Chain A
Amino acid sequence: MTENASDAIEAGFGRSSEFGAGQRVRKLWKSRAVRGLLGYVPSLFGIVVLCLVIVGALLGPRVIHWDPNTVNLGQAYQSPKLSWNPSGSHWLGTDGLGRDEFLRVLLGARVSLLVGFVGATAAAVLGSLIGAVAALSGKVVGAVLMRIADLQLAFPFLIFAITMTSVLGSGLTTLLILVSVWSWGPYARVAEAMTKSTSQRDFVLAARSVGAGSGRVLFRHILPQLMSPMLILWSFSFAILIILEASLSFLGMGIRPPTASWGTMLADGRLNMTIAWWLALFPGLAISLTVWSINSIGDRLRDVLDPRIQL
């Protein structure tokens, strides 16, 4: 804390001294998080699994030469068969239209990771800004902003998304927009509480007293303090958004076929459960494994960076 405070006070006076101290703090923070993540078995496993999912999503469809969307009824409902040549047999079987399930699971990962990443990032940026502004601005503006954050709790994302897609239509772009506008509530709540306490701390008062404007105080002194709680929240909402996208697609209101999404694939598998168990099992396993890996990273990040945060 003392390091942080002196860093910030110096920051108010001159750039050169700020640089050295700031770098030191950042380095410390970085190494603590990284060491904490890699030196603990569950989070290390999580990182390995998540990396495999990302690599599989990016490279898999280039390596396997099945066409993900071509209908081939002669190949329909083939059960899973392992062989060393990925294009020689269908590792996870085929669906009712003869499409390779493994390839579609990998393609589904692209959608899930994209929605999770974009949604969580947009929510983190929006939420920390809105929360900080709500804490620093007047009573009325602050109250209204925080009530909009509460509204997201009273009208949860899935229900909001079902309402909106019934009017706007479904699809990836709509989904990305909806995710960004309706998941910043938790971030704003944490950011507001932390900004309120931070803005009374000595280093912020010092920066103010040497004439720093409200924009400078916000961006240079308050928002950097929010980094670790926002990072922890980010990792958890990444996982939650993957589940929500899959739920929405499962209900037929998210990603539209023929684009592969774990939710739509699972919905399809559910209908054909009696003849092809693998169609329900593998997309579900893919979601669970990905969500587990992100959660285990998030848990560890919280333990290492800020155990006080309650979610």
Chain B
Amino acid sequence: MLVGYLVHRAMQAMLILWLLLTLLFFTARLKGDPVAVLVGGQVTATDLDRLRHAYGLDQPIAKQYEKFLVGVVHLDFGESIRTHQAALPMVMSRLGPTLKLVIPALVLAVSLAIPIGTIAASYRGTFLDGAAMVGAVIGQSVPSFFLGVLLILVFGVKLRWLPVIGGTIIRYLILPVVTLMGYPLARYTRVVRAQVSETMTADFIRTAHAKGLPFRVVMVRHVLKNALLPVITLVGTDIGLMATAAIIVEAIFAIPGFGSLFLLSATARDYPVIEASGFVLGVSVLLSSMVVDLSYGFIDPRMRH
């Protein structure tokens, strides 16, 4: 049963990846000439031809596509047009700085959202709840690039508490991580609150209270355990969202990560790197959604089918 499910999911993921890579392949060759963009007009037509030949761009499109797919199977996306490094290792080497932002941001967002959302739900309708929800709504409405610029303006330029660029690693990461955290924190807080307040009205919670369990035990063992499943789903599906946010945050804070490499490669039309980045992103999103679906079964026995 489980094996069949896994095979089914893996085949779906393969289909999505193939669609993605095909889209990227044909987009890169849709219009214009990446080689001309690269060298910028200071060369003769024969030089251009030689370059095109070197990248295999003079071959028929079907042949190029075939070669591309064979390369993908061997995890070979060719050389970067810009730097002549192998494209996939280049992308992988840039993942480190991005993960240093994304992982702390997600961990902090979840570990703050659970207590805030639970407290808001237990004191529903009070000032505490109102304040938390207003904060969450604001957090969801302020785009990350504005939050980042605002943080730099207040803490970097006016107060001079934190470095805008440079400094020790921890101090340097504070502003980017907070910027990246804002939206997920707001989103998770609202989901936790909604789930907890829904679970609190369930019959088995009334039973737990009635048999005299302390409030804390009921909250942790009965309410939270049931309320956290949707949060896990959200974290799993937010990988793509975090990649989007990472592009912006890396641009604002000049961090040499996955996002800034992608942006640079897109402007330079460095298509091997664009394709490799798309591949890495697609694999991460698909893998994380599969892990989430599988973890359902471990967390919630009702889902084991």
Contacts and interface: CB of A to CB of B under 8 A. Distances in A.
Contact of A284 (B19, B146, B285): B146
Interface in A260-311: 263, 266, 269-270, 273-274, 277, 280-281, 284, 287-289, 291-292, 295-296, 299, 310
Given A153-B240, A273-B157, A292 B230 contact: no
Given A154-B282, A156-B243, A159-B244, A277 B153 contact: yes
B251 A251 contact: yes
A247 B263 contact: no
Q: How large is the interface on B (under 10, 10 to 19, 20 to 34, 35 or more residues)?
A: 35 or more
A1 interface: no
Interface in B140-183: 140-146, 149-150, 152-153, 157
B27 A164 contact: yes
Nearest to A243: B143
A155 B281 contact: yes
A168 B23 CA distance: 14
B137 A296 contact: yes
A251 B247 contact: yes
Interface stretch (A50-58, A115-123, A143-151): A143-151
Main secondary structure of the interface of A (DSSP, over half): helix
A240 to B, nearest CB: 10
Given A156-B240, A251-B247, A168 B30 contact: yes
Given A155-B278, A291-B141, A166 B267 contact: yes
Contacts of A270: 149, 152, 252
Given A154-B20, A296-B137, A159 B262 contact: yes
B15 A288 contact: no
B149 A273 contact: yes
B224 to A, nearest CB: 19
Contacts of B19: 147-148, 151
9 contacts: A151-B19, A155-B240, A155-B282, A155-B285, A158-B244, A158-B248, A159-B278, A163-B266, A277-B153
Interface of A: 42, 143-144, 147-148, 150-151, 153-159, 162-168, 239, 243, 246-247, 250-251, 253, 263, 266, 269-270, 273-274, 277, 280-281, 284, 287-289, 291-292, 295-296, 299, 310
